[in-house]
Amino acid sequence: MRRNPVLLLAIFLAVAAAFVASTIVAQRAAREVGGLAAAIARDAAPGLAAMSNVRGEVRHLQELVTRYAALGPSATDRQTIDDTRQRLDSHLAEFRSLPTTTEELRLLNRLQTDVRAFDEAIERVLAQPASTSRELADALVRDVGVLADQALATAGEIVQLDARLAEDTALRIEEVHRRADRLALQMDTLCVLVAALAGWLVARALGRARRLETEHRELIERRAEELEQFAGRVAHDVLSPLATVGLALSVAQRNGSPAQQSAAQRGSASLHRVRGIVDALLEFARSGARPEPGALTDVQPVVTGLFEELRPQAEATAAELRFEPVPECAVACSSGVLVVLLSNLVRNALKYLGDATERVVVVRVRPRRHTVLFEVEDSGPGIPTELGDRIFDPYVRGARASATRPGIGLGLATVKRLVTAHGGALGAARGLLGGALFWFELPRAEASERQDAPTDSVMRS
């Protein structure tokens, strides 16, 4: 008899525990459903709306440009076209600000390339004088239409992808509801067992989560300390010898012959750029892969200095290095980061020219409305087809390159990491010279002071 109250109490506690556990499961399901619904509301729905607006603006731009080419220049039409292009940029920026999957990011990079080509085709139509022949005008308009259809097709793929993601999320919400109901019923039926098991699992899960959190925090602290120590060692091991080299070059500049002074001056300029690269990469590593706030760099001096630095390497490989005239513009990054980006791509192009008969590497800088576009094109064999989009992944190299060229495959991965960390975009394609064309965009900035540099001719070696 004495055992009955204890048994009743145990049953009551078991039932109460089952109901509590059922409530907990229901609440967790509600939170999960709320998170999935919020993902639709904050990601899928705005993404569909933004991409639909992009498609609408592209089609509207095509109609405006067609009318502009057919009826002749009009101040109202030109202003309408400019306003529509601004809205198209705004809708693309709105989509870029949303969370994206890997597939969405791949399609978005392709869409940005398509929109840029479409925008350049519009520029060609607008730049034609009134005396342009009808055949040429019609050809330009057809080019605009083809590029518009290409951009619309890519945008349509993004819309379909977002629609599938929204549909999958809705199906997951339905599955969460079914799973919650089934678990609640099972817990009500098997009170004691489910309550005990749930309590045991929850206690173990919480203990494990606490242990993992503690281990993760300790790991982060150790890695941060290691990174600081590594940065200090690099600063000491690299910058200290550079100081000695700089002192020797200064002595050579003062006391050497004219030829030695000229060589010492070039060496000092290269040494200064090396210091900038080391300082920028160390600062980048210390800041946790975040760009320096407020950084701004004039493009012309960096490109001019890089040309002088890489010209001997181009001559050593019997290659022609062309730097097209650089317009005055500035980008939102440090000069060291910009040198790393361009030098990596140019050295990579010179390195992989292979046995090409025509050995040319071309560097272009094109300021856009909100970004600055950099292109490095070569006449080599191009990107191996087996690499595809993996060309920017760490430690990825082609089979022939691995056998004939030294390296570990971190150059392009470094370019991708720096560009994306600074809010830019990048890509690769086959260029007009038959080889590879690598491009990247960085946010454009306004510089209060710029050094004047001659840009009236193409620099060549």
Domain range annotation of the chain: 3-189, 216-286, 297-460
Both tokens of residue 138?
Answer: 């019609």
**pLDDT for residue 365:** 96
* Rg, Å, the chain Cα set: 30
DSSP state of 378: E
Give the C-alpha separation, 357 to 369, whole Å: 38
**pLDDT for residue 328:** 92
- 181 contact partners, CB below 8 Å, separation of at least 6: none
Q: CB of 296 within 8 A of CB of 331?
A: yes
Secondary-structure class of domain 297-460 per CATH? alpha beta
Q: CB of 171 within 8 A of CB of 5?
A: no
Both tokens of residue 315?
Answer: 């001559």
Both tokens of residue 314?
Answer: 């181009």
In this structure, how many other beta carbons lie within 10 angstroms of the beta carbon of residue 460?
13
For residue 306, which of 330, 335, 339, 279 has the smallest C-alpha distance? 339
For residue 314, which of 281, 362, 282 has the smallest C-alpha distance? 362
**pLDDT for residue 235:** 56
Q: Is the CATH code 1.20.120.1730 the one for domain 3-189?
A: yes
Q: CB of 191 within 8 A of CB of 10?
A: no
**pLDDT for residue 172:** 82
**pLDDT for residue 457:** 42
Both tokens of residue 401?
Answer: 């390159």
Residue 110 phi/psi, 5-degree rounding, is: -65, -40
**pLDDT for residue 261:** 73
Give the C-alpha separation, 4 to 412, whole Å: 75
pTM for the whole thing? 0.42
Number of DSSP helices (H) and strands (E) in the chain, helices first: 12, 8
- One-letter amino acid at 205 equals A
**pLDDT for residue 162:** 82
**pLDDT for residue 189:** 74
Both tokens of residue 398?
Answer: 């082609």
Q: CB of 115 within 8 A of CB of 370?
A: no
Residue 449 phi/psi, 5-degree rounding, is: -135, 135
**pLDDT for residue 372:** 96
**pLDDT for residue 453:** 39
- Mean pLDDT, 10 residues at a time, over the chain (461 residues)? 58 69 73 73 78 87 81 70 86 85 87 88 78 75 86 87 82 78 70 54 67 72 53 57 70 73 73 62 53 86 92 90 93 91 92 88 94 95 80 69 53 86 92 92 73 45 58
